[in-house]
Amino acid sequence: MTPVFTEQLVSLMLEHISHTENGIAALDANDRFIFFNPAFTAMFGIADYLTLGHSFDDMLTRMFSHGVGTNCKSSTLPEWLAYVHSQYRKKPFRSFEVDLVNGRWLLMTEQVNENGEVVLVGNDITRAKQAEQALKAAKEILKQQALTDELTGISNRRHFMQLVHYEYNRARRYDSRISLAILDIDYFKKINDNLGHPVGDEVIRHFATLLQQQLRKQDAVGRLGGEEFALLLPETTEAEAAVMIERIIKQLKQTQLDHIVPGLSYTFSAGVAELKLTSAASIDSWVSIADQALYQAKTGGRDRVEIYQAKGK
């Protein structure tokens, strides 16, 4: 059914277009403005500039040179104009989001008529966009919490074991060397019992920071739980891993901890296992060997690193 545009209807539509909060503008086939309402110029910060007959590029140039309206992603005006032109008039109808320099967001629609005129409509979606961004940020926080140890900020057991699985498969695929170390702070229970849990927490945080500072870019560190930590050392033999941990032991002995408790010192023990690329080498067996090496370091006097040695060797 063809709509009947009565004088009353036309008057109503013109009244709406003039006073709506949505920004509305129209350009002729030569991209010169033939209409815009107050909301349109207010949205883009050009109320004191835009007049009928101005071109679309005039508006873009004004916004870029005066730092108003659209948040330009390009460093120069020609680059920005080229980007806008690559999108403009490419479809009979399109919708897209625009972020403004004042922090607000618009949902824009662009309709190209058969005769070449263009109608632009902008709807303020700032609240919806802020809610979307807040939800995205909350999801990212939850994701980080799921992967990160709350006390130390390093990988928790779950995330560290994901890294172990990834590096295990990569080592098998490329026949590369990789070592795993499990570390445990010595006599940690005495620290908690004698100095209190807050001091114990500070020791845990200090140890995590020490490990992070001593590791290479490709290495990974995680807290397995309590006072137990683990290191994943790609492209590293067990002998090289042991040397690396010896360096950390030495560094810890030279570290002043009076900022935690005057006179405080602590040590740790570590067990190292290199992944042996045999058909029977599973992740569980690899972790188990590192754990057994840690046990040997503990029973061998603590404050040391051990590479697993089978009985009788």
What CA–CA distance (Å, rounded) separates 303 from 56?
73
Confirm whether 227 is a catalytic residue.
yes
pLDDT at 303 over 90: yes
Share of the chain above pLDDT 90, in %: 81
pLDDT at 69 over 70: yes
Prediction pTM value: 0.60
pLDDT, greater one: 15 or 258: 258
Average pLDDT over every residue of 166-182 = 93
What CA–CA distance (Å, rounded) separates 40 from 35?
10
- CATH of region 148-307: 3.30.70.270
The CA–CA distances, whole Å, from 61 to 19, 30, 31, 102, 151 equal 27, 17, 14, 18, 51
The amino acid occupying position 142 is: L
Q: What is the pLDDT of residue 293?
A: 97
The amino acid occupying position 187 is: Y
List pLDDT tens digits, range 102-126. Answer: 999 999 999 999 999 999 999 999 9
CATH topology assigned to domain 7-130 = Beta-Lactamase (3.30.450)
Same fold, 7-130 and 148-307: no
pLDDT at 188 over 70: yes
List pLDDT tens digits, range 136-173. Answer: 888 877 777 778 999 999 999 999 999 999 999 999 89
Share of the chain above pLDDT 70, in %: 98
Catalytic residue, chosen from 167, 202, 227, 238, is 227
Residue 191 contacts residue 263 (beta carbons within 8 Å): no
Give the N- to C-terminal CA distance of the chain in Å, as an integer.
Answer: 95
Residue 266 contacts residue 185 (beta carbons within 8 Å): yes
Q: What is the pLDDT of residue 280?
A: 64
Q: Alpha helix (H) ranges present in the chain?
A: 7-19, 38-43, 56-66, 77-87, 126-147, 157-174, 188-195, 197-214, 238-253, 283-299
- Residue extents of the structural domains in the chain: 7-130, 148-307
The amino acid occupying position 282 is: S
pLDDT at 250 over 70: yes
Structure-token match 């137990």, residue found: 228
